[in-house]
Every structure is written in C-alpha cells, then in structure tokens.
Amino acid sequence: MTPQEQRVAQWIRTEIRALRAYHVPDASGLVKLDAMENPYTWPSDLVARWLETLREVSLNRYPDAAAGRLKDHLRSAFNIPDDMDVVLGNGSDELIQMLAMAVAAPQRIILAPEPGFVMYRMIATFVGMRYIGVPLRQADFALDMPAMRKALHEHRPALTFLAYPNNPTGNLFAEDDVREIIAAASGIVVIDEAYAAFAERSCMSLLREYDNLLVMRTVSKMGLAGLRLGLLVGAPAWLREVDKIRLPYNINVLTQASAEFALQNRQMLDQQTADICRDRAQLYDALSQLPGVVAFRSQANFILFRVPSGRADAIFADLRDNGVLIKNMNGAQDLLSDCLRVTVGRPEENRRFVEALRAAL
Ligand SMILES: *Cc1c(COP(=O)(O)O)cnc(C)c1O
C-alpha cells in the first residue's frame, strides 16, 4: 500500500470502502430500456415555450428556498391533502437520505421488503444504520406477512420503506397488508410511490389515518427524470424535523422553473403516461407469448420477467450486443434468479426489444 492508500484505509469507514458505487452503464447507441425513463420528448412548440420561461430565471440569485410556487403546483398535481406538509428533495433519493439522517443512531434499523429499491440499503450504510431486508413471497412477490410481523416485532425499525408499486417486481402490495404494517410499526413507515402515475392505487388518502405514515413521490418516472425532483408528504410534526436536515436551496432555479412549466402542461405528461400503460399491456402479452418466458404483471412502467434457468446473463449480453439495453436482475437476490427487467419504451422500441429477445432465446 502507498502511504496515501494507508491513509484512505485508516480514515474512510470500512463499510464505505466495501461498497461498490452505484453503477450506471453506458447506453450510447443503444435502445435504452434499463432505467424506467419516460421515452417521449416534448413537441417543439412546447420546448420553445419552456425555453422562453427559462429566460426569466436569474442564475445569479439563489433559488426560492421554500420553492413556494412549485409546491403549490405539486399540491394540485398530486392531490396532496391541505393539512399535510411537503418537503422537496433533489430526487426522492435525497429525501430517503434526509429521513435516514434524521433518525440515524448506532444500532437503529431501516427495514424494507426484498427484492426492493437498492437505495434503502445503500443509504442505511451511508449513515451508519443497520439494514434488514425481509424476503417477499416467492410465488407472487406479495408481502410475507408472518415474516414482516416477526421482523417488525424483533427489530423495531426506525424507518420502514414500502415501494408501492414495488421496484423491481412491479406489483402493488395488498392494501390490508400495508395497513397492518403501518399499524404494527413503532417507527416511521414511508410509502414510496415513485410509480404512482402508472398504478391503480395510492396511499395518499391514508395519511390522515396513521400518525406514523409518510408518502413519497417523484416526477422522475412520469417524464422529468432529468430535473431531479422528489417530494415527501406528511404531517407537519414529522416534516418540520426532516426539513431541518434539508440543505438550503437544494432545488435549483432551473428545476423549479422547469417543473412549474411542465406541471402547467400536465395533459401532455398524462397522455404520455396513458400511452405507456397501454403499451405495457401489449408488451406483457408479447413477453408472455414467448416460449420459456414468464412475465410478471406490473403496475409500473417496467416489466420483470424470468427466462429459462441459467440463461439470463447470456440473454442480457445478447440483447446488448444487438443494441438493446435492459437491466439484468439475475444474481442480485435469490428471488430474482433468471430475472430481467425491461422499461416500457416507445412502441417501435418495444417491438425491437421483443424481436431481439426472441432471437436471443
Ligand atoms: C426510481 C425510484 C426512486 C428514485 O427516484 P428519484 O426521484 O429519481 O430519485 C425512488 N424509489 C423507487 C422505488 C424508485 O424506483
């Protein structure tokens, strides 16, 4: 080891050195169906109007720290109850981090069902908390309620995350199960509704019923991933505390102006979302008809599917070599062996993916 490497080993925490940084693969030249992005751009007249609004933005000034106008737009776009507060994050990833920082203490626990969203585990490590993953039911990725009850009782997590719909499985958990978990938890339960735009149900209306419930949303999956804007909704008693951890000016001026503009043109985003839901049904049917493929029903803008045993890595590589990038979930977790995940793209992208998969099989 060089002297510098020794210093790194001495001062950077062991658990951080053991991490692998979040890997974002290079997608240049590929049909990009790996990251749950909305595949549609805006019509050129709308782009022109958006650029006009950006002319008014003062880059020399700090942003509106409270982002009051943007919050008003978000309140109406997401039907946020009047008596609930909103805290904005630089993506909902930042909100997960703020929540973790607000509760972190040695031996305190973050709990989530697995397979689930990887940032819950990573952020627990960042802030020095323990992470407990509770396996979902193998057959249908439903919550394993006996296991959840036991884990909540044994570990008393400070934070429990339920992604609703779940990533990477795409299903909505049963509402009765979700209610039971919120009622049984002593700590905070966060319902992460990143995919609400594509789902039939939301837990926003449960906020008034449970005093330990928070709901998280993001504009990323509904077509604004580049803006980095997430929101946490809940009772003022909780959000007042979380807001103290928010770095001042975390939502930059360009994001504030652009998100306001986009929400004023909500019909376009809603139409794109409706198209994606329609194409999800077609993609599901096409996948289900491929011999050896089992597709799982999804309430999000992606579909998880299983390929014949032992072939996922080769099929993933074959697709990439043929110009289509999806996500290989094989090996990430026991329940995901032989599984791949594809984001719903434009119809011609979906067709190209299905043809490449047919050939790879
Ligand atoms: C994509 C995703 C997020 C992150 O959203 P950002 O707002 O882009 O940070 C959060 N939770 C789940 C379950 C996701 O899939």
205-244 pLDDT tens trace: 999 999 999 999 999 999 999 999 999 999 999 999 999 9
284 within ligand 1 shell (Cβ under 6 A):
no
- Residue carrying the six token digits 């999804």: 298
Sign of the C-alpha dihedral computed for residues 79, 82, 84 and 87 taken in this order: positive
Tell me, in angstroms, the distance from the centre of ligand 1 to residue 92's CA: 6
Whole-number pLDDT of residue 331: 86
- Nearest atom in ligand 1 to the alpha carbon of residue 89 is 7
Give the CB-side neighbour count of residue 103, counting CA atoms within 13 A. 25
- Each residue's pLDDT tens digit, 322-351: 999 999 999 888 899 999 999 999 999 999
Tell me, in angstroms, the distance from the centre of ligand 1 to residue 359's CA: 32
- Each residue's pLDDT tens digit, 270-280: 999 999 999 99
Whole-number pLDDT of residue 55: 97
- Each residue's pLDDT tens digit, 18-46: 988 777 888 999 999 999 999 999 999 99
220 within ligand 1 shell (Cβ under 6 A):
yes
Sign of the C-alpha dihedral computed for residues 225, 227, 228 and 231 taken in this order: negative
257 within ligand 1 shell (Cβ under 6 A):
no
Report the alpha-carbon distance of residue 285 to residue 352 in Å, rounded: 15
Tell me, in angstroms, the distance from the centre of ligand 1 to residue 263's CA: 19
Whole-number pLDDT of residue 357: 98
DSSP-derived letter for residue 35 is S
Q: For all residues of the chain together, what is the average pLDDT?
A: 96
Question: 139: buried, middle or exposed (CB in 10 Å: 19+, 13-18, 0-12)?
Answer: exposed
- Displacement of CA 358 from its chain's centroid (Å): 29
Whole-number pLDDT of residue 207: 98
| pLDDT band of 142, cuts 50, 70, 90 | very high
- Each residue's pLDDT tens digit, 162-197: 999 999 999 999 999 999 999 999 999 999 999 999
Whole-number pLDDT of residue 333: 85
Q: Whose CA is nearest to atom 11 of ligand 1?
A: 194
| pLDDT band of 262, cuts 50, 70, 90 | very high
Whole-number pLDDT of residue 318: 97
Q: What is the mean pLDDT of residues 285-302?
A: 97
Whole-number pLDDT of residue 113: 98
Paired tokens of 156: 């008393």
Cis check for the bond before 157: say yes or no (omega within 30 of 0).
Answer: no
Tell me, in angstroms, the distance from the centre of ligand 1 to residue 224's CA: 12
Whole-number pLDDT of residue 25: 86
Question: 104: buried, middle or exposed (CB in 10 Å: 19+, 13-18, 0-12)?
Answer: middle
171 within ligand 1 shell (Cβ under 6 A):
no
Whole-number pLDDT of residue 24: 85
Report the alpha-carbon distance of residue 126 to residue 129 in Å, rounded: 8
193 within ligand 1 shell (Cβ under 6 A):
no
Which of 315, 260, 351 lies closest to 71 in space, CA to CA?
A: 260
Q: What is the mean pLDDT of residues 268-292?
A: 97
Provide the Cα torsion 311, 343, 201, 164; round to 10°. Answer: 60
164 within ligand 1 shell (Cβ under 6 A):
no
Paired tokens of 263: 């929400």
117 within ligand 1 shell (Cβ under 6 A):
yes
DSSP string covering 8-28: HHHHS-HHHHT--PPP----T
Element at 218 (helix H, strand E): strand 213-218
